[in-house]
């Protein structure tokens, strides 16, 4: 979510045919053995996502240093999908079939949920990504990410703009890759169902990685937009803000997603119109002195891991996994981990506004909270934009 060229690999992912591959019930912690845990991530290529698995590894290393889980060390196998559909399929088979993982934890990839969701069902293995991105991360039975996801993020940024900032004439610009358009349309419709309001203008043709966004900004301004709700990656958003600045459009409010919430982005943007607002998926990490992020922050700094929402997601996924697996009575196998996650109690953590719950459901999109942050014009620092979590109302 924090960097570049992704549309082509996602489109390719949609047409990949997955080969069936048999496996056993996973290598586990019986008889003092290691617990094998897998993770599929994009670690090389034009867009990389290293922090989630790095953070999960730091959590697992820490518990290993303190005796492991019920005396069993975690053997954490992190595999690179290279942003490539075939490599993503091969990576999952490596950790699931060859390594005998009992579960996948802390993954972060633009494509791997879409590529591997059916394979995980076939192999009866569960995945707890640190960061879920594509719709299959949230709409399939064997995957339950730690994060809110971009689609709830879109609903929340619209809710914050209309209900908290009191904005009218909100327009939506969408950067669409692969199979994400219906999910974003559903997110916008949910905002409409909650508020009775509709976007003034919607453009779902905004490209990833464009060299110039002037034409899209000019059309939105001519449509009378007072605010723009967009789902950009960082470089694209910087280009969009600069295009508005060049047009002298200084009274527009930007309602964006967690994908731009970083210190690098804040340093790259100066003039932001009426400000940039984001419903952060985890408690805002730029609020450095808050007790909510202290444990995570200390561990990341000790291991020289970048402070981002990605590392927050990987950290939490690993913590959730440990808490559930520590309660298993008997051998820790793929079957016992699956049973424990299906019957777990919800886990509360100060870094999230919604308790984590895997459970037996056919879909897993239960994290419906974000914490609003703002970046005001002329500043390079994020500030809290609310006193508490913003929740999407229940249906």
What per-residue string of b and e applies to 183-203 under the rule 16 or more CB within 10 Å gives b? Answer: bbbebbebbeebeebebbbbb
Residue 12 has pLDDT above 90, yes or no: no
Do 185 and 234 fall within a single domain? yes
Residue 286 lies in a domain: no
Nearest C-alpha neighbor of 384 from the set 172, 234, 195, 160: 160
> What was the pLDDT predicted at 25?
59
Q: What would the pLDDT profile of 266-281 be if each residue is shown by its tens digit?
A: 999 988 889 999 999 9
Decide if 373 contacts 286 (C-beta within 8 A). Answer: yes
In a domain, 276, yes or no: yes
In a domain, 308, yes or no: yes
Q: Give me the CATH number covering residue 127.
A: 3.40.50.2300
Residue 307 domain flag: yes
Render pLDDT for 63-72 as a digit per residue (tens, 0 to 9): 999 999 989 9
pLDDT at position 198 over 80: yes
In the predicted structure, residue 237 carries a pLDDT above the cut 60: yes
**Co-location of 274 and 159 in the same domain:** yes
Largest Cα span, the chain:
69
- What is the length of the chain? 395
Among residues 15, 13, 320, 309, which one has the least CA distance to residue 144?
320
pLDDT given at position 22: 38
Residues 154, 231, single domain; the answer is yes
* Mean of pLDDT values over 90-115: 96
Question: What is the pLDDT at residue 21?
Answer: 36
Short-list 364, 131, 143, 138, CA closest to 258: 131
Task: Check whether residue 85 and residue 124 sit in a common domain.
Answer: yes
- Angle, helix 51-65 to helix 294-302, in steps of 10 degrees: 90
User: Is a pLDDT exceeding 60 seen at residue 325?
Assistant: yes
Lowest mean pLDDT among 29-43, 118-132, 320-334: 29-43
Statement to judge: residues 48 and 160 lie in one domain:
no
* Residue 32, pLDDT score: 59
pTM of the full structure: 0.90
pLDDT in the model for residue 295? 97
pLDDT (tens digit per residue) in 15-53: 333 333 334 456 665 445 899 999 999 999 877 889 999
Residue 26 is predicted with a pLDDT of 64
What's the confidence (pLDDT) of residue 242?
94
Same domain, 295 and 340: yes
The answer to the question of residue 330 being in a domain is yes
Q: Are residues 359 and 378 in the same domain?
A: no
Percent helix / strand / coil, the chain, rounded to 5? 40, 15, 45
Q: Is 124 exposed, middle or buried (0-12, 13-18, 19+ CB in 10 A)?
A: middle
If asked whether residues 238 and 377 sit together in one domain, one would say yes
Q: Check whether 137 has a pLDDT greater than 50.
A: yes
Number of folded domains in the chain? Answer: 2
Local confidence band at 378 (pLDDT 50, 70, 90 cut-offs): confident
Mean pLDDT, the chain, rounded, equals 91
The pLDDT of residue 377: 85
In-domain check, residue 70: yes
- Parallel, antiparallel, or unpaired for β 383-384 and 369-375? antiparallel
> Does some domain include residue 46?
yes
d(CA 88, CA 85): 5
Q: Residues 188, 194, 197, 203: what is their CA dihedral angle, to the nearest 10 degrees?
A: 0
pLDDT tens figures, 82-102: 989 999 999 999 999 999 999
- Give the list of residues 6+ apart from residue 128 with CB closer than 8 angstroms, or none: 103, 104, 105, 106, 143, 144, 145, 146, 317, 320, 321, 341, 358
Is 173 in the same domain as 250?
yes
Q: Does residue 310 sit within a domain?
A: yes
CA nearest neighbour of 391 among 201, 60, 163, 125: 163
Q: State whether 318 and 375 are in the same domain.
A: no
Instruction: Indicate the range of 16-20, 259-263, 362-366, 369-373 predicted with least confidence.
Output: 16-20
Whether 130 has a pLDDT exceeding 60, the answer reads yes
Residues 192 and 326 in one domain: no
Regarding whether 133 and 24 lie in a shared domain, the answer is yes
Distance CA 281, CA 201 (A): 26
Say which range, 2-6, 105-109, 223-227, 247-251, has the weakest mean pLDDT.
2-6
**Are 368 and 393 within 8 A, CB to CB?**
no
Residue span of the structural domain in which 336 resides:
7-149+291-364
């Amino acid at each position: 979510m924090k960097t570049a060229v992704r549309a082509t690999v996602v489109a390719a992912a949609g047409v990949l045919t997955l080969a069936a591959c048999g496996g056993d019930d996973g290598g586990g912690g019986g008889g003092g053995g290691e617990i094998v845990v897998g993770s599929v991530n994009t670690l090389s290529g034009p867009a990389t996502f290293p922090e989630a698995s790095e953070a999960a590894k730091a959590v697992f290393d820490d518990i290993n240093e303190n005796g492991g889980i019920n005396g069993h060390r975690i053997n954490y196998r992190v595999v690179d999908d290279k942003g490539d559909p075939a490599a993503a399929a091969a990576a999952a088979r490596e950790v699931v079939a060859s390594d005998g993982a009992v579960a996948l934890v802390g993954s972060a990839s633009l494509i791997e949920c879409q590529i591997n969701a059916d394979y995980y069902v076939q192999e009866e293995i569960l995945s707890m990504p640190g960061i879920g991105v594509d719709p299959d991360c949230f709409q399939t039975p064997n995957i339950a990410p730690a994060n809110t996801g971009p689609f709830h993020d879109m609903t929340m940024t619209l809710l914050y703009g209309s209900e908290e900032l009191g904005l009218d004439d909100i327009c939506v610009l969408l950067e669409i890759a692969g199979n994400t358009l219906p999910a974003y349309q559903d997110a916008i419709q949910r905002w409409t169902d909650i508020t009775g309001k509709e976007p003034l203008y919607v453009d779902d043709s905004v490209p990833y990685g464009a060299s110039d966004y002037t034409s899209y900004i000019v059309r939105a301004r001519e449509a009378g937009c007072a605010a723009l709700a967009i789902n950009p990656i960082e470089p694209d958003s910087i280009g969009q803000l600069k295009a508005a600045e060049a047009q002298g459009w200084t009274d527009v409010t930007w309602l964006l997603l967690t994908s731009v919430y970083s210190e690098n982005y804040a340093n790259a943007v100066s003039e932001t119109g009426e400000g940039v607002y984001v419903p952060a998926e985890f408690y805002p990490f730029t609020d450095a002195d808050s007790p909510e992020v202290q444990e995570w922050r200390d561990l990341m700094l000790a291991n020289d891991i970048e402070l981002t929402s990605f590392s927050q997601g990987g950290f939490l996924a690993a913590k959730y996994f440990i808490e559930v697996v520590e309660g298993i009575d008997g051998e820790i196998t793929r079957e016992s981990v699956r049973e424990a996650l299906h019957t777990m109690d919800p886990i509360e953590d100060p870094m999230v506004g919604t308790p984590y719950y895997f459970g037996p459901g056919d879909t897993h999109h239960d994290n419906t909270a974000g914490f609003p942050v703002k970046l005001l014009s002329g500043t390079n620092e994020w500030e809290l934009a609310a006193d508490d979590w913003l929740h999407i109302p229940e249906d």
